Structures are given as C-alpha cells and as structure tokens.
Amino acid sequence: MSAIQRAAAIVVAVLLVAIVGVVLLSGADGPIGAGPDPSRSLAATPSPTVTARADPTATPEPTATPDENVLAMLAEIEQQVLEIRGLEAPDIGPPEVLTRDEVTEELQAMFEAEYPAEERERDDFFVKAFGLLGPNEDFAELQLDLLSDQVIGFYDIEQRRMVVVSDTGLDANAKVVYAHEYTHALQDAAFGLDSLETDAAGEDDRGLARLALQEGDATVTMLAWALRHLTQEELMEIGSGPIPDTANVPGWMLGQLLFPYLAGQEWIVEIMAASGAGDLFAPDYAAVDAAYANPPESTAQILDVDKWYDRIAPVAVEVGELAAALGPEWEAVETTTIGQATSAIILEHFGVPTSEANEAATGWIGDRAVVTRGPDDAFALAWRLAWETEEDATEFEAAYGTVVDALEFPALVDRDGDTVLVVHASDKELLSRALEAAR
C-alpha cells in the first residue's frame, strides 16, 4: 500500500469508529457482525494533496513529552492485539508521540511527496470523464475534506512506525483505532503489505480487493479486541461519538474509502466461518493468513465469496488504442479496471436504486476503461465490460441508460452479446469517432 493510501486509511479509520459501536452492540451476542451495505465503492483511489514541507522525507522529532501512562496503555493494547491476531510482534519500537500540528505537517508532506500535481490533474480528468464530478469541482480539493483533525494515530508503512497524537487522549475511540492500526503493523511484518501491490498501475479493481483483505482483517481484529477489552460504557461512547464532517465529499468517494473496511470485514467473516472460526471471542486466522499468499484478484471475489473459493479470476478485456485512432494530438490519460463494486456505485451515483445497481453489476467478469485527452481538453472514454451471460450484459446495459440520461455530455451504451461498450465524449462528433475506434 502506498503512503497515500495509508494516509487515506487513517481518515477512514476515524470514520469507521462511528460504525464500530453499532456493530459491536448488535453483534456482541453472536458471530462476527456485518456492517452497512458494502457495495458502495469507486475504484480510483482518492489521494489527498496538501502543501509542501521543506524536507518531505524527514520524520518530525517528537516535541511532546510522552506520558508514561499513555505509553503503558498503548503497550498493553499491542500485547492484547498480538494475542488475538496470533502474529509475531513487529520490530518497530514504541509508538512516537507527536502533537497534532506535527502530525498534520507530516501527513501534508506525505501527500505532496507521493501525489504530485501532474498525477492529481490526471486523476481529476479521469473522474470527470466518467461524469462523477462537475467542471467546477476539483478532485484533489474534495479529497482535502477527508483530512480530519480527529486523526489520533496511524501506522507508517514506509518507515515502519506507530504514531500517536499527544493532545487527543486515549478515549475509547483512540483505543479502537490504535488496535486497528497496530494490526497493520503485524500484517506488514508477517506478510509484507507492499507485496499486495494495491497501487499497481492499471489494476484499480484488484487493488481495491486486496485492500479489502488487509482492512477487513484489521477491522475484525479491532472488533474482537473491543469486545474483549472495552467496557459497556466505552462501547456506548464509540456508538454515540460524532462523525467527522464529510458534507462536501461526494458519496461515491466516501463509499470507495469505506468499501475495504465494510466489505472486507464481511469477506473475512465468510472465510473464517467456512473453516468454523467465525467467532469474535475466539477468532481463528488460519484462512486469513493463507489469503495473503494468494490474495483476491477482483472485487467480484470479495462480493461473491464463492468466486474466491473457486479462484475465478477476471478475464482480460481489451479496448484498443483509442488515442492513436483519434489522432496524433490525442494522448491516453489513464487505463484501468473498474470492477464489480465500482460499476455498482457508478450506477447508484446516477440514481439507480441500490439493490438494482448491485444486481446490475452482478455477473461482471472483467473490464477495461480508457480515458483520452485531445486539443482544448476534449475527452473520450471507452469502457468495455465482459459478463457471465447475455442476460447479465442486458441488465447492465439497461441500468446504464440511467447514467446516459443523466450525463451533461454525449454518451452511449452498446451491447454485443455478453459484452457491453460504454462511450463518453465531450461532443457528439467525437462520440461517433470514439465509438468507431473502440469497436
């Protein structure tokens, strides 16, 4: 996982705290609980941008005097998580205690170093070609809204260290998040999280599925820890805590960030239960550990666990050299897989009811999307999807008609047997040319 994704995950862990209390209180008397609808997802990984620091690679020197009681409590949480997760302790030393200003500065430097302006602009163009943002909205600026002053700790995968905010206090929310983030340190030491290649170019759907493995693992561990070690009053505190303000963040963006946690939690529960280990009070991680050696290949395997058991991998789908066909002044901006989870959230974003969007995305077996840019920021998108049956393809074609009707630029959806071709363009003449080039 890149530093960008880990930093985004920090914010999501805080958002997740608002959900944890409900899950804990509803699932304490039974097997591992389920969260809200896990199908809300978007494959393009949000990567907030921020202002630069003089040396973005340097680690701030802790200025707060570490409280011995705080460090002792964190060490106790670490030991408790170790006992639950059953992995060896990572060689990362005690957590670093920073002020909120220092943490904010560090996160900002991380974003600037890992997410340069040209990449932010490319991602903005890609998302707008799908119609998910308006012309006056900025992808990076919206992602800045996800940077919350409620961040209370994180695991830095690049430098292998735990960081704790010194001026927050170890309330129930802080303890839960620390248990979650420390689980990532255990995963990294045992399996090497970089080996999952969650940020591989052109593999957004696969990356999202593999994030679901590691975040689902950490979420289940966090829940197991909370049920064992938090009091009833602390559980109530989590459930009643305020939710970070995300009013300006589009629902599809927030849904994409939450997908690895919520869908991942359900998926981890499923593979645990299949081995008779689906009990929060006595979880057995053998099946989870094995999954790191053979990680999921698509969100379809997360949403339909039978596809995981049968190792049904997505098929390769080709779109062609769209930019070359449109002319020498055209360039490819991005090409990647979108996936079943993303297809559902796109439909829902444009008004298809949730259950219908999920059903229309079921049967996905592969896709590839290409976005190109021409003179004066003209654009063309070609997105080809493969389906298990013609019926599946027909259902998606019909559902995507809602998207075509809602877009503010020309678009069409065309089915050929068990494949569907979606084309967007900045004008009608270009739409015809892009359709011909993509066929």
What pLDDT, in 10s, does the model give residues 277-287? 656 667 789 99
What pTM was estimated for this model as a whole? 0.85
Q: Kindly report the three-state secondary structure assignment for every residue of 382-421.
A: EEEEEECCHHHHHHHHHHHHHHHHHCCCCEEEEEECCEEE
**3-state percent breakdown (helix, strand, coil) of the chain, nearest 5:** 55, 10, 35
The tokens for 131 are 């119609």
Alpha-carbon dihedral 72, 77, 81, 87, rounded to 10 degrees? -20
Q: What is the largest CA-CA distance in the chain?
A: 69
Does domain 322-438 correspond to CATH entry 3.90.220.20? no
Residue 208's pLDDT is what? Answer: 95
Residue 177's pLDDT is what? Answer: 84
3-class DSSP state of 155: strand
Q: How many CA atoms lie within 13 A of 91 on its CB side?
A: 0
Q: Which residue has the higher pLDDT, 173 or 229?
A: 229
DSSP characters over 159-206: TTEEEEETTT---HHHHHHHHHHHHHHHHHHHH-GGGG-TT-TT-HHH
Residue 114 — pLDDT band, cuts 50, 70, 90?
confident
Q: What are phi and psi of 210, to 5 degrees?
A: -75, -30
Residue 399 — pLDDT band, cuts 50, 70, 90?
very high
Q: Kindly report the three-state secondary structure assignment for every residue of 311-372.
A: CCCCCCCCCCCHHHHHCCCCEEEEEECCHHHHHHHHHHHCCCCHHHHHHHHCCEEEEEEEEE
Judge whether 371 and 322 are in contact, CB under 8 Å.
no
What size, in residues, is the chain? 439
Judge whether 129 and 194 are in contact, CB under 8 Å.
no
Mean pLDDT within 330-356: 95
Q: Where are the domains of the chain?
A: 3-309, 322-438
Residue 65 has pLDDT above 90, yes or no: no
The dihedral sign for the CA sequence 131, 134, 135, 137: negative
**Residue 399 to residue 343: CA distance in whole angstroms:** 10
Element (H, E) at 211: helix 204-229
Residue 124's pLDDT is what? Answer: 94
Residue 7 has pLDDT above 50, yes or no: no
Residue 6 has pLDDT above 80, yes or no: no
Residue 402's pLDDT is what? Answer: 96
Judge whether 428 and 410 are in contact, CB under 8 Å.
yes
Residue 244 has pLDDT above 70, yes or no: no
Q: Which of 55-64, 86-95, 164-173, 418-427 has the highest mean pLDDT?
A: 418-427
CA 262 to chain CA centroid, nearest Å: 10
Residue 104 has pLDDT above 60, yes or no: yes
Mean pLDDT within 26-47: 30
**Residue 423 to residue 379: CA distance in whole angstroms:** 11
Mean pLDDT within 13-36: 38
pLDDT tens-digit readout, 358-370: 999 999 999 999 9
Residue 375's pLDDT is what? Answer: 96
The tokens for 92 are 């990362």
**Strand pairing report for 379-387 and 153-156:** unpaired
Q: Tell me the H-state helices in 28-99.
A: 68-85
Task: For residue 154, list its beta bridge partners.
Answer: 163
Alpha-carbon dihedral 59, 62, 63, 69, rounded to 10 degrees? 160
Residue 277's pLDDT is what? Answer: 63
Provide the b/e sequence for 100-122 (b: ≥16 CB within 10 Å).
bebbbbbbbbbbbbbbeeeebeb
Mean pLDDT within 426-435: 97
Residue 53 has pLDDT above 50, yes or no: no
Residue 227 — pLDDT band, cuts 50, 70, 90?
confident
146-155, 181-190, 294-303 — which is least confidently predicted?
A: 146-155
pLDDT tens-digit readout, 308-331: 999 999 999 999 889 999 999 999
Residue 187 — pLDDT band, cuts 50, 70, 90?
very high
Residue 18 — pLDDT band, cuts 50, 70, 90?
very low
Residue 145's pLDDT is what? Answer: 66
142-146, 254-258, 407-411 — which is least confidently predicted?
A: 142-146
The tokens for 5 are 């994704």
Mean pLDDT within 206-215: 95
Residue 45 has pLDDT above 60, yes or no: no
Q: Taking each helix axis from N to C terminus, what angle separates 251-274 and 204-229, rounded to the nearest 10 degrees?
A: 70
Q: How far is CA 408 from CA 133, 298, 348, 403, 427, in A?
A: 11, 30, 17, 10, 10
Residue 168 — pLDDT band, cuts 50, 70, 90?
low
Q: Which residue has the higher pLDDT, 218 or 245?
A: 218
Residue 188 has pLDDT above 90, yes or no: yes
Residue 312's pLDDT is what? Answer: 95
Q: Which residue has the higher pLDDT, 164 or 380?
A: 380
